[in-house]
Chain A
Amino acid sequence: MLIEAGHFALALALGLSVIQCAVPLWGSRTNDSVLMSVAGPAALAVFACVAFSFAALTIAYATSDFSVLNVVENSHSSKPFIYKLTGVWGNHEGSMLLWILILTLFGAVVAVAHESAPERLRANTLAVQAAVTAAFLLFILATSNPFTRVSPAPFEGQDLNPILQDPGLAIHPPLLYIGYVGFSITFAFAMGALIDGRIDAVWARAVRPWTLSAWVFLTLGIAMGSYWAYYELGWGGWWFWDPVENASLMPWLAGTALLHSTVVMEKRDALKVWTILLAILTFSLSLLGTFLVRSGVLTSVHAFAVDPARGVFILAILVIFIGGSLTLFALRASLLKQGGLFAPISREGALVLNNLLLATACATVFIGTLYPLALEALTGAKISVGAPFFNLTFIPIVVPLLLLVPFGQTMAWKRGDPLAVAQRLAAAFGLALMVAIAALAVTLGGPVAAPLGIGLGVFVILGALTDVLARSWSRGQPFAVVLRRARGLPRSAWGTALAHAGLGVTVIGIAATAWSVETIATIRVGERVAAGPYTAQLEAVVPRTGPNYRENVARFTIWRGERELGAVETMKRLYVTRGMPTTEAGILTVGLSQAYISFAEARPDGAVDIRFFYKPLVLLIWGGAVVMALGGALSLTDRRFRVGAPARARSAPAALPAE
C-alpha cells in the first residue's frame, strides 16, 4: 500500500510541478502578483510529495520488501542494515529519485529563504526550476519507476553489487548530486533573469551563495568518489580519467569559473553576458554528466542498467533544456548592458584570465571525453582516450593557471600595479623556490616533476596567505592591531585564502604521487617485501565469514627499518549471492603517507600474490579538497550573503589596501 502511495506521490508531484512552472510564468507576464505567489507554496508541496515517495522506497529497502522489483534486484535480507539504506541510491531508479529529491529540496529552500529576492525574479526562477523537475519526474515515471511490483514476490533478493557496499558509496552520490543539482538553481536564476531581461549586481549577489554551496558539495563529492576508487578498486590509483569521472570534473571546472565571474559581476557590474552563459553551461554540463552516466552510453560501475529508451529520454531532456536556454540567451543577451571598464592588468583582468583558462581546460576534457563517442557514432571506429591524452592537454593549461592564482588574488581592482604585486609575492615565490630546490636535492635522480609540482603547490599556499597577511599587517603596527585587523577582514577574504591554500595542498599531494613505489610480489608467511621505505611482512592467511560474503584474509605487519608501524589486513572476498569476487585493500596511514597492500591472488601452494604500494603524502590530495570546501563554506558565512542582514556600519574602517 505504501509503495503505491509512493508511486502516486510522484505522479502528484509531476502535476504540481507543472502548476509551479506555468502559473508563476503567466503571473510574471501579466504582472499579477497573486499568480506569482503560487510558486513558493507549490515548490514546498512538490518537495513534500517527492520526500514522501523517497521515504516510501527507503522503508521498502529497510524492511526488505521483496514484492518491489527494485528491492529484489538490489538488496538481500542478510545485507548489513546500513547498506540496505544506502542501497536505495545504489541503483538507477533510486539514484534518479535521489536526484529529484535534491532538486525539489533546492526549490523548497529558494521558496523559503528568498523572501528578500525581487518578486519577479523569484517567481521566474522557481518556474524554471519546476520545468526541470517536471522533465525528470516524467523521465522517472515513464522509464525508471522504482515502485514496480513483482508477483509472486521472491523469498530473497539478488543483493547489491558488492563494490557498492561501502561507506564511501553511502555519501558519495548524495554529495555529488547536491553539487550537480545545486547548479540547477544558478541556471534557474539565469533563465529567470533572461526571461525578465534584467540582470545586475543584485542578481549576482542573490546567485552567489547557491553557486558557492553547489561548488562546495561538488568538490567534496568528487574527492569522496576519488578516495572510494582508490581504496575500493584495489589498483591504488586515485584518478583514472574515466569518462564518468570527467563527467563530474567538467561541471566543477565550469562551476569554479562561474564562482569567479560572479565576483566580478557583483563587485564591478561587468562580465554579465559571460556569467549568464557560464551559468547555463555549468548546468548543461551537469545534465550531460547525468546523460553520460545514466544512459548506458558508457559502461562503468555507474551505468547500472542499459535501456535505450532511457538514453533517448535523457538526451531529449538535454536537447530541450540546453537548446532552449541557449536560444533564450541568444535572443536576450543583447539586452544586457555592459558595465564597468577595467585595465587588462587588474583583479578583473586576472579573473577573466582565470575564466579563460578554466573554460579551456574544461573544453579539453570535453573533447577527450566525447570524441570517442562521436567517432564511433560517425565512423564506427572504436578508440579509447586515456590518461596520456589528458596529461598532455589538461596539465599544460592548468599549470599556468595555478601559477597565476596568487597574482590574481593580490591584484587590485580596476587597475593593478604589477610591480607592487611582484614585490608582495617575492617572499612567497622565494620560499617556494627554496622548497623545490631542497626537494630536488634530497631526491636527486628521482622524477623532476615532483619537486617542481611541490614548489608550485607551496607557492599557491604561501601566495594565498600573503594576501591575508598583507591586508592586516603594516610596518610598525603592534601585534594586537594586526590581529584585530585580521579578525576584521571579511570572512570571504579568509574563505578565498583557505580555498586557494587547499588547492595548493592538493597540488602537493598530486605532485608527490610521482614518488610512489609499486611492488608486485609472490610471498609466503614469514617473508618480507619492500616498497620505498616500508617493508611488509606476511603474518598469516586465514579464511573468515562475513554477513553476506566469505573471505580470505592476509595479515601483514608494516615496518620501517626495524620499527614496526602497525598491522593491516587485505581481503579477497567472495560475495555469495552474486558469486562476485572483490578485493579489499589494506591501508596503513603513517602521517600523511600510506602503505597500501592489495591481495591479488592466493596460490594453491599457500603463497599469495600481492601489490604493495608506498604512497607518500597521498592524503594531501583529498585533504586539500576538504580544505577547499571549507574555504567555500567559510565564504558562505560572510555577512553580505546572510539574507536580510543589515549592512554593518564600519566603525573603524579596516585597512583594505587597494579596494
Chain B
Amino acid sequence: MIVMNPMEKFKAKITLFHCINAFTEHVSLSTDDREVKIVKMPCSGMTTEVFMLKAFEAGADAVAILVCPEGACRYMEGNMRARKRVEKTSNVLDKIGVGGKRLSIHNLAAKNSDSVPGLLDEIMSTIKELGKNPAAAA
C-alpha cells in the first residue's frame, strides 16, 4: 500500500466532463493550485464508466461531470443515465482503493457557468481531504 500524506503540497488535477448544452467555458478554471482538464461531451449520457476510470488512471485527483438540470436533457434522459453511471463507478473506485468521493456529478442550473468555480472549490476541499490519487501513474 502506498501511503499518501494528505497534507503534502501538490497541484491538483481535475477532469471535468461536461455536456455542451450544460455549460459554456468563458473563464479559465485552472488556478495556481489546480489544473482543470475539460472534456466536452455532446450529452452527459455519453460519459460512460470507462471514460471516468481512464481519467483517474491518467492521473486525475478528482473527476466531475456537469450535467443539465433534471428534466432538461435534450436527449430526454442522458443526465439521469450519467448519474446512474457515476453511482456505479464511484462504487468501483471505493473497491479499488481510489475513493468514490473523488467522482461527483452536478446538475447546473440553466447554463449557469458562474457556479462552476464554486463547485471546483468544493472539489478541491475533497481532494485536500483525500490527498493525491493513489492510482496515478508514477
**Bound pair (A, B):** no
B contacts, CB < 8 Å to A: none
